[in-house]
Amino acid sequence: MNNSSNLSQEIYSYIDKFWDNEVIPQLIDYIKIPNKSPAFDPDWEKNGHMGKVLDQAVKWSKKHAPNNSIFRIEKPKGRTPLILIDIPGEKEGNVLMYGHLDKQPEMVGWNEGLGPWEPVIKDNKLFGRGGADDGYAIFACIAAIQSLKKQNIALPRIVVLIEFCEESGSPDLPYYMDKCEDFIGNIDLVICLDSGAGNYEQFWTTVSLRGMIACELRVDVLEEGVHSGSASGVVPSPFRILNQLINRIENPQSGEILIDALNVDIPKKRIAEAKEMVTSLVGWEKEFPWHQNAKPSSDNSLESMLRRTWKPTMTVIGADGIPSIKDGGNVLLPYAALNLSFRLPPTADCNLAMEAVETVLLNNPPNDAKISIKWEKSANGWNAPKNKKWLNQAIDGASQAIFNTPARSMGEGGTIPFMAMLGEKFPMAQFVITGVLGPNSNAHGPNEFIHIPFAKKLNTCIALILSHYKI
Looking at the structure of the chain, the number of domains it has is 2
Cβ atoms of 432 and 191 within 8 Å: the answer is yes
The full 3-state SS of 315-366, as one line of letters, equals: EEEEEECCCCHHHCCCEECCEEEEEEEEEECCCCCHHHHHHHHHHHHHCCCH
| Same domain membership, residue 343 and residue 226 | yes
Decide: helix, strand or coil at residue 398: helix
Please give the residue range of the domain that contains residue 235: 211-274+299-379
Q: CATH number of the domain at 239, please.
A: 3.30.70.360
Backbone angles phi, psi at 143, to 5 degrees: -60, -45
Separation between Cα atoms, residue 464 and residue 459, nearest integer Å:
9
| Same domain membership, residue 150 and residue 100 | yes
Q: Tell me, what's the pLDDT at 1?
A: 38
| Same domain membership, residue 165 and residue 32 | yes
Q: Tell me, what's the pLDDT at 38?
A: 97
Q: Tell me, what's the pLDDT at 266?
A: 97
* Residue that is last in its domain, among 332, 357, 379: 379
* Residue that is last in its domain, among 379, 413, 438: 379
Cβ atoms of 18 and 143 within 8 Å: the answer is yes
Backbone angles phi, psi at 330, to 5 degrees: -80, 65
Q: Tell me, what's the pLDDT at 418?
A: 86
User: Is 293 among the domain residues?
Assistant: no
Residue ranges in the chain whose pLDDT is less than 70: 1-3
User: Is 252 among the domain residues?
Assistant: yes
Can you give the pTM of this predicted structure?
0.90
Dump pLDDT digits (tens) for 350-370: 999 999 999 999 999 999 999
Cβ atoms of 86 and 182 within 8 Å: the answer is no
Separation between Cα atoms, residue 348 and residue 411, nearest integer Å:
15
| Same domain membership, residue 169 and residue 24 | yes
| Same domain membership, residue 406 and residue 360 | no
Dump pLDDT digits (tens) for 384-437: 999 999 999 999 999 999 999 999 999 999 999 889 989 999 999 999 999 999
Question: DSSP class of residue 67?
Answer: T
Cβ atoms of 128 and 194 within 8 Å: the answer is no
Angle at 160 between CA 158 and CA 163, to 5 degrees: 160
Other beta carbons within 10 Å of 351: 12
